[in-house]
Structure 1
Amino acid sequence: MGRHRKQPATQVRRGSVIALTGMVPAGFAAVTAGASAVNTAEFMIMPLAHGDPAAQPAANAQPDELMHMAHQPAPPVVKSVSLAEDRAAADLPAAPGGIPGVANTAYHHAQDVLAEENPDCHMSWSILAGIGQVESHHAYGKLDAEGYPIKPVYGPVLNGTLAGNIAVRETDGGALDGMDSYARAVGPMQFLPETYRKYAADGRDSGVSDPQNIYDAALTAGKYLCSGGLDMNSEAQRTKAIMRYNNSMAYVMNVMAWESKYRDAAAAAAPVPAAPAPATTVGARM
């Protein structure tokens, strides 16, 4: 996401190391990154819980205020952790519609967390799944049991040489994307490092938010889409939110085509409630 596309020149967008060439549901055009993407996030350093004066309570804070602050979780540490290369992909069965089991769990978990933290947004798992499909095919369907891709997912280097891209300078010294001059999107939900740092969420309650982890990335994507008070039940506001990823109506249609496909597949696979037994009258007389 946040690929900072130039207008317009619709073409097939390339993902990390592999071309994103997944099939699109019938009736919808395949969208890629041909249109311009607007990345509205500004780089923000999260204050550390210890040692940073900005993270310490004010000296004149009242007891109720201190109690409120004590119940607020500290911002997660944003980093990409090193993992062994011989990890095995999780063996969870795919969900209806073909979503990898781990990814499906992550999208539903993000929906549940946001329903509690930001109920007015009405974020659904299926919107996140639509974005996850378009951006990386759910990490190419190869995730370990902890939600990490077997191979890290990276977008193309944004150095201005790829058609449709503008140059985006590195902002965090390569801590998240491994680059030292130009940036690239990272993880299964394809965030630019500066955007991820601003909205970083801890989807595993681990104290760490890693854009490569689908639990963290899905929850972060939900926060990003909901930011500014947007409500996914409003078509106009939902469109505005998705266009933060790629400022293109064709991109929105692509995401929502997959969203509809996944939602319909889940509904079709849901167990049908048993019909109630007919009422009987005990001891009825003829």
Structure 2
Amino acid sequence: MGKHSAPRRKLRSPYALAALVPVGLVSAVAAAHAGQQLTTEPTKQVAEPAPESAQTPAPTTPAATPAITPVVAPVTAEPAPAPAPAPEVLPESVTSGQIPRINYEAYYAAGSKLAQELPGCGISWKLIAGIGRVESTHANNGKADPTGVLEVPILGPVLDGSLAGNNVIHDTDGGELDGDPHFDRAVGPMQFLPETWKHYAEDGNGDGVTDPQNLFDAALTTGRYLCDGNLDLRDSSQVTKAVLRYNNSMDYVSKVRGWADGY
């Protein structure tokens, strides 16, 4: 789903497995929602300029010489680090077109950042890529700008119980992320439910915003979600445990691991 100067929070236990969308939903609805966008954009909070105060006439009598106030340079926060650049030599999965270049850059940056911050997790960018392939076919084959923002937002079906196999999940975010104030929908290329996104969201491209419709943010959030609970994803059994957390289906696990191994 980055952190800047504030200390990183300790991750809590994952949400119930029922909060994740069953396998195949995105592939089933990606075409139906290919042209769909949120009807309202999140409100950007912009500080309004303060009104100019009325000008006070200068005094007619000479004023006392003011004391000299030392000039103190303003303290500015350091910018967030940019995502790790992808290697010059690209893997065959990228050069062959299996993974779009922009998606690979997002997956690789997420894996590199987590290797530094959570070395005990041992997550590979390929596992994140496997999730991306199954959930949205790599954001509809890389339809994103160079910063990772999707050309068209990806939204899952409305979780109102009308689609077989789906749980009913009432709104948890006031429609902020999914545009629906009544029921939740999975959002973005990694198909997070709004409540799960709010809990794990990460800024993967260092722009100070956590956006589920951004490849870099979604990839890093996915990696952190898979690593939660101090899992060691160099252990095959723990990889299965992590992916089942994402979607409680062994068929889903098989598909994700199959794509990841192929990459």
- TM-score class, shorter-chain normalisation, is 0.5 to 0.7
Report the counterpart of residue 246 of structure 2 in structure 1. 245
How big is the shift at 1:245? 1.5
Instruction: Tell me the distance in 2 between the aligned counterparts of 1:11 and 1:236.
Output: 20
Report the counterpart of residue 25 of structure 2 in structure 1. 13
Runs of 5+ consecutive residues of structure 2 not aligned to the other structure = 1-14, 34-76, 81-92
Evaluate the alpha carbon distance shift between residue 196 and residue 222 of structure 1 in structure 2; reply closer, same or farther with a 3 A threshold: same
Instruction: Tell me the distance in 1 between the aligned counterparts of 2:99 and 2:173.
Output: 32
Instruction: Tell me the distance in 1 between the aligned counterparts of 2:32 and 2:242.
Output: 25
Alignment of 1:1-286 (within 5 A): 4=19, 12-15=24-27, 16-18=29-31, 94-96=94-96, 98-141=98-141, 142-262=143-263
Whether the aligned pair in 1 keeps the contact of 2:200 and 2:225 (CA below 8 Å) is yes
Whether the aligned pair in 2 keeps the contact of 1:171 and 1:193 (CA below 8 Å) is yes
Instruction: Tell me the distance in 2 between the aligned counterparts of 1:259 and 1:244.
Output: 17
Whether the aligned pair in 2 keeps the contact of 1:3 and 1:165 (CA below 8 Å) is no
SS at 1:155 equivalent: coil
Which has the higher Rg, Structure 1 or Structure 2? 2
How big is the shift at 1:97? 5.5
Which deviations, in whole Å up to 9, do the C-alpha atoms of 1:125-177 show, x marking residues without a partner?
Answer: 10000000000001101111111111100111110010100100111101111
SS at 2:189 equivalent: coil
Whether the aligned pair in 1 keeps the contact of 2:158 and 2:183 (CA below 8 Å) is yes
Instruction: Tell me the distance in 2 between the aligned counterparts of 1:167 and 1:14.
Output: 17
How big is the shift at 1:13? 3.1
How big is the shift at 1:210? 0.2
Evaluate the alpha carbon distance shift between residue 226 and residue 12 of structure 1 in structure 2; reply closer, same or farther with a 3 A threshold: closer
The residue type paired with residue 236 of structure 1 is S
Which deviations, in whole Å up to 9, do the C-alpha atoms of 1:23-50 show, x marking residues without a partner?
Answer: xxxxxxxxxxxxxxxxxxxxxxxxxxxx
The residue type paired with residue 244 of structure 1 is R
Evaluate the alpha carbon distance shift between residue 202 and residue 162 of structure 1 in structure 2; reply closer, same or farther with a 3 A threshold: same
Instruction: Tell me the distance in 2 between the aligned counterparts of 1:174 and 1:94.
Output: 35
The residue type paired with residue 125 of structure 2 is W
Instruction: Tell me the distance in 2 between the aligned counterparts of 1:154 and 1:191.
Output: 10
Instruction: Tell me the distance in 2 between the aligned counterparts of 1:204 and 1:5.
Output: 25
Instruction: Tell me the distance in 1 between the aligned counterparts of 2:197 and 2:233.
Output: 21
Evaluate the alpha carbon distance shift between residue 18 and residue 204 of structure 1 in structure 2; reply closer, same or farther with a 3 A threshold: same
Instruction: Tell me the distance in 1 between the aligned counterparts of 2:183 and 2:23.
Output: 22
**Please, what is the CA RMSD of the aligned residues?**
2.8
- Structure 1 runs (4+) greater than 2 angstroms displaced: 1-6, 10-17, 93-97
Question: How many residues are paired up?
Answer: 191
Runs of 5+ consecutive residues of structure 1 not aligned to the other structure = 21-70, 75-92, 263-286
